[in-house]
């Protein structure tokens, strides 16, 4: 009954206004927090997709003189959006921006740990005049996610979260209506530091930011450091020095850089990895929901080098050559992000091409911005991308309209 009342597609009467209004409402309500990540980036994502949609045109195929073919994109219909608990508002914006702009209705399921931002945004969307039933929130856990995945009236699912959970949606789709599925999943992201890397202090700052920002609870976090033997000791010393500027404590204190992990369950998972690991070079303590930023040297077959920990843990591997570095970096079931630090331009370009990852950064840590597609290879991603113009592909379907222009309507009729 809920699905029968929901419009499958919709059209905004004034270009971009329905998307812009929630963003402006957030800005007005929380202007004191605009220096943080979620709010400004959320507003940017909604505004960017709202302003993009009327610049995306259909095309005409070069058919014969007697025919014309229009290739058009139409809204896919009702989209289920399954969201993670890290960056819950921003990940929501990455998906509802292109989905609503394309004309889809959405049912979004926030993570069980973080439902409030989605519920508040839905309230603001209603205040802004979004038609009833276009944007819907379904809080819940595994049962709610499976219901979305199996629902016969949901035409597509866009998921961000762990690989173990995301791959279930392929099964749900196969068992129901073969709905389209886009998955943005986990990563075991390497940072390669060659012996010729310039300004090791700056490199260390990027490594620390990539590994420990948001307590490492970030799918694009740098979780593997593959460093040339010639600079390893120097770089690790600089990383340890930078970590002195990352105090651990109360998450509500603006001076805190490392807060508690998201839940006791997740804390136990991360702490378990550290208990089974060897002696760390830096950090390693885990108590009362807090995990100290940890640097630990490992072998390539160590679980810390192969499995997604999703915490403030940096696994260090030593290499002696460029080819060995690329081999170690690609020796994973994941392929979301990678970084390469080198002063050699040719090596940088070759390495970026050889690394099997959806995003490769050179001499920096990052994942692009709203203009660049974000997603992974292998078990890090499937079916499409968030962000950029390419994000609209997962919320639209192609249709060919073939028109016969021949004078004699009886000829060439199939």
Active site residues: 184
Q: Smallest Cα–Cα separation from 188: which of 296, 328, 65?
A: 328
Looking at the DSSP bridge assignments, the partners of residue 37 are none
Q: How many CB atoms lie within 10 A of CB 215?
A: 24
CA distances, 125 to each of 21, 82, 302 (Å):
7, 18, 47
Question: Alpha-carbon distance 320 to 230, whole Å?
Answer: 8
For tokens 């004309």, the residue is 103
Question: Alpha-carbon distance 312 to 222, whole Å?
Answer: 10
309 by DSSP, 3-state: which? coil
Phi, psi of 182 (to 5 degrees): -120, 130
Question: Alpha-carbon distance 210 to 271, whole Å?
Answer: 20
Question: Alpha-carbon distance 121 to 282, whole Å?
Answer: 41
Q: Do the Cβ atoms of 75 and 103 come closer than 8 Å?
A: yes
Question: Alpha-carbon distance 395 to 180, whole Å?
Answer: 9
242 by DSSP, 3-state: which? helix
């Amino acid at each position: 009954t809920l699905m029968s009342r929901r419009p499958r597609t919709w059209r905004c009467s004034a270009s971009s206004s329905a998307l812009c209004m929630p963003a402006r409402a957030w800005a007005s309500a929380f202007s004191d927090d605009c220096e943080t990540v979620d709010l400004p980036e959320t507003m940017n994502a909604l505004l960017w997709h709202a302003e993009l949609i009327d610049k995306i045109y259909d095309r005409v195929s070069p058919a014969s003189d007697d025919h014309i073919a229009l290739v058009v994109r139409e809204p896919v219909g009702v989209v289920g959006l399954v969201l993670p608990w890290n960056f819950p508002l921003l990940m929501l914006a990455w998906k509802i921006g292109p989905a609503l702009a394309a004309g889809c209705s959405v049912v979004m399921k926030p993570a069980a740990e973080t439902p409030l931002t989605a519920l508040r945004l839905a309230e603001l969307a209603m205040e802004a005049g979004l038609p009833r039933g276009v944007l819907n929130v379904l809080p819940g856990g595994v049962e709610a996610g499976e219901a979305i995945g199996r629902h016969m009236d949901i035409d597509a699912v866009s998921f961000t979260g762990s690989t173990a959970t995301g791959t279930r949606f392929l099964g749900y789709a196969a068992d129901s209506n073969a709905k389209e599925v886009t998955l943005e999943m986990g990563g075991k992201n390497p940072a390669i530091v060659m012996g010729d890397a310039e300004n090791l202090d700056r490199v260390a700052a990027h490594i620390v930011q990539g590994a420990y920002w948001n307590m490492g609870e970030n799918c694009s976090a740098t979780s593997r450091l593959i460093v040339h033997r010639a600079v390893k000791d120097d770089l690790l010393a600089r990383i340890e020095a930078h970590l002195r500027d990352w105090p651990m404590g109360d998450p509500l204190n603006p001076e805190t850089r490392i807060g508690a992990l998201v839940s006791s369950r997740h804390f136990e998972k991360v702490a378990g990895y550290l208990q089974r690991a060897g002696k760390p070079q830096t950090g390693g303590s885990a108590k009362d929901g807090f995990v100290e930023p940890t640097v630990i040297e490992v072998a390539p077959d160590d679980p810390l080098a192969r499995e997604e920990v999703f915490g403030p843990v940096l696994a260090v591997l030593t290499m002696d050559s460029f080819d060995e570095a690329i081999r170690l970096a690609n020796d994973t079931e994941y392929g979301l992000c990678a970084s390469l630090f080198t002063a050699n331009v040719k090596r940088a370009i070759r390495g970026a091409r050889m690394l099997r990852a959806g995003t490769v950064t050179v001499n920096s840590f990052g994942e692009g911005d709203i203009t660049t597609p974000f997603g992974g290879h292998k078990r890090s991603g499937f079916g499409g991308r968030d962000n950029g113009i390419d994000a609209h592909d997962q919320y639209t379907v192609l249709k060919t309209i073939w028109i016969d222009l021949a004078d004699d309507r009886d000829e060439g009729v199939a």
